[in-house]
Amino acid sequence: MRARIALLLATAAGSVACTREPALRFEHIVVVSLDTVRADRLGCYGHAAARTPVLDALARRGIVFDAATAAAPTTLASHTAVFTGLHPHAHGVARNGFTVAAENVTLAELARASGFRTAAFLGSFALDRRFGLAQGFDTWDQAFDVDVDGNHEQMQRSAAQVTDAALSWVEREGPERFLLFAHYFDAHAPYEPPPPFDVSPTRPTAPRSASLADVDVAVRAQQRRTTGRELGVQKTIVGGLDAALLDGADGQTSPADEDLAALYDGEIAYVDRELGRLLDGLERKGLLRNALVVVFADHGETFAEHADYWNHGLWTYDTTVRVPFLVVATGPGAEGLAPRRVPDPVSMVDVLPTVAALAGFAAPEGLDGTSLVDAMRGGTLPRRAVFSEATQPVRVERPRTPATPWENALKAKCVRIGDFKLIRAPYLAREQLFDVAKDPGERRDLLRAGVEASELARAPLAELRAALDRFEREARPRPSRFDPSQTLETQAKLRGLGYDEGANPDDPPPEHTPR
């Protein structure tokens, strides 16, 4: 494997591999993924009602990126972007259920080639080994619980089980140098936080759990109120949004929406506790004294703010693509990394080159991401375009051909430059433009009628459009396909997780399944 990575790195760099090992700066690297966690629901990102003391303490000790954008608002495509430093239209994973090409070089492979033991502890079937992200990991622990109720299989495991598995591996293996990846899935629907997190201090009378069917009821109620139609979650995911849904969404919440949001916050609070237990366990063994800890979310979740009600994947509003991103370093490698907040827009494809630079790994050239180390040491990032691309709706996907090389070409995508963000959905021939500094909720589309010309003139619209044009032209995805031998099983299990991509739009929503 070390020879393969050396060859890949040499090829990417256009030169022969260097035989001298890089100077490694950390003994332990801990990478934590908070699935489906919006940045604005954490205390360290301004949510006053958050119960996230562990994450908030990490933020006080480390680097906080205030404007981090996920490369895609779906689990597998986004995680693959983090671990390869490439956008989906380069790494090739269109959405959940597709496969990660072996041609990709992952962070785990770089770490293993540098002498690290690599281990991952998964919370969701969406990252099942069969999809290929396990490449480079010595251990890929995915002992999911399987609850069958006649309607679907719920393939995941709780945050407590993920933490237990990770700490057991550390106790059992005790490697001198390791990269540990922990994936916490709990904030994803359905919302069933365990006690005491099932009772919200701000909504104590709210229900203590919400099934996928409950989420579907809330979505239908919003759609009926704003458009007079009830599509539900599955039909919207498969069929997509339209002008009536986009323009009708007014951001008004119902008591049901507020109950769901309270339960969502409870799930995050539970994950926060389990993250604390993981870090405490590592600290007790002295494994955080010379360590790099990276915490991020793969994507967020829209509540009732926009037309993609209680979903992620359909659009690229900040509710689904603005994510938390924290880095804490200790030991000699932490020199110059004083606690600070970085306001500049960054992308989650920047994780691999940043970790490689901090840890002393040799990283391949040709990445979409860039190292953020200078900004972490107080410098200013150069002006750049930051992108994200949606993974839904399924109906607009096109098979790869020379003329249409990328399945997701017609789906919504966005670019942010400075304070302005342009969203484009080719399947709707629709664009939206927002000043996210003045309008962080993305409620005022500057391309809608009634906007003063002087206000629109402040936006670098031509530059944003040119950047998206270039982004679309550059799509050269590596080989990937939906797993053909497991298609029905994969769709059923992903549907059970709330990922209804590929589902029959007329299927009823899944019934409640205990976590």
Residue-level pLDDT at 452: 77
* CA 388 and chain centroid, separation: 11
Check residues 483 and 4 and name the one with the higher pLDDT. 483
Q: Looking at residue 504, what is its pLDDT?
A: 46
Amino acid making up residue 460: P
Q: Is the pLDDT of residue 24 over 80?
A: no
For 150-176, how does the pLDDT look when each residue is reduced to its tens digit (9 = 90+)? Answer: 333 347 899 999 999 999 999 999 889
Of the candidates 62, 41, 80, the residue with the CA atom closest to the CA atom of residue 272? 41
pLDDT of residue 486: 45
pLDDT level of residue 494 (50, 70, 90 thresholds): low
Confidence of residue 75 (pLDDT cuts 50, 70, 90): very high
More confident position, 304 or 507: 304
Per-residue pLDDT of 373-402, as tens digits, reads 999 999 999 999 999 999 999 999 988 998
pLDDT of residue 505: 40
- Is residue 314 a contact partner of residue 85, using CB atoms and an 8 Å limit? no
Q: Which two tokens stand for residue 382?
A: 């150069």
According to DSSP, the residues that pair with 119 across neighbouring strands are 139, 180
pLDDT in tens, 85-94: 999 999 999 9
Say if residue 310's pLDDT is above 60. yes
User: What is the rounded CA–CA span in Å between residue 81 and residue 76?
Assistant: 9
pLDDT reported for residue 254 = 97
**b/e 136-151 (16+ beta carbons within 10 angstroms → b):** bbbbbbbebeeeeeeb
CA distance 328 to 63: 6
| Rounded Cα–Cα distance for residues 435 and 291 (Å) | 38
Q: Cα separations (Å) of 447 from 308, 412, 424, 457, 461?
A: 20, 16, 12, 11, 10
Confirm if 249 and 306 have CB atoms less than 8 A apart: yes
Q: What is the pLDDT of residue 322?
A: 98
- pLDDT value at 468 more than 50: yes
The string of pLDDT tens digits covering residues 185-228 is 999 999 999 999 999 999 999 999 999 999 999 999 999 999 99
What is the tens place of the pLDDT at every residue in 219-250? 999 999 999 999 999 999 999 999 999 999 99
At how many degrees (to 10) do helices 255-284 and 212-227 cross?
Answer: 140
pLDDT band per the 50, 70, 90 thresholds, residue 497: low
Given a cut of 60, whether residue 22 has pLDDT beyond it is no
Q: Which amino acid is at 47?
A: H
Confidence of residue 275 (pLDDT cuts 50, 70, 90): very high
User: 95-141: per-residue pLDDT in tens?
Assistant: 998 999 999 999 999 999 999 999 999 999 899 999 999 999 999 99
Q: How confident is the model at residue 21 (pLDDT cuts 50, 70, 90)?
A: very low
59 with 39: CB under 8 angstroms? no
Would you state the CATH architecture of domain 2-17+26-385+479-496?
Answer: 3-Layer(aba) Sandwich (3.40)
Hey, where are the domains in the chain?
2-17+26-385+479-496
Per cent of the chain over pLDDT 70 is 87
Q: What pLDDT is stored for residue 152 in this prediction?
A: 34
Q: Residue 469: is its pLDDT beyond 50? A: yes
Q: What integer best gives the mean pLDDT of the chain?
A: 89
Task: Say whether 40 sits in a helix, a strand or coil.
Answer: helix
pLDDT at 369 over 50: yes
CA–CA separation, 465 and 421 (whole Å):
10
How far apart CA 248 and CA 226 sit, in angstroms, is 5
d(C-alpha 141, C-alpha 326), whole Å: 24
- Say yes or no to pLDDT of 148 above 60: no
Read off the pLDDT band of 403 (50, 70, 90): confident
DSSP 325-338: EEEEE-SGGGTT--
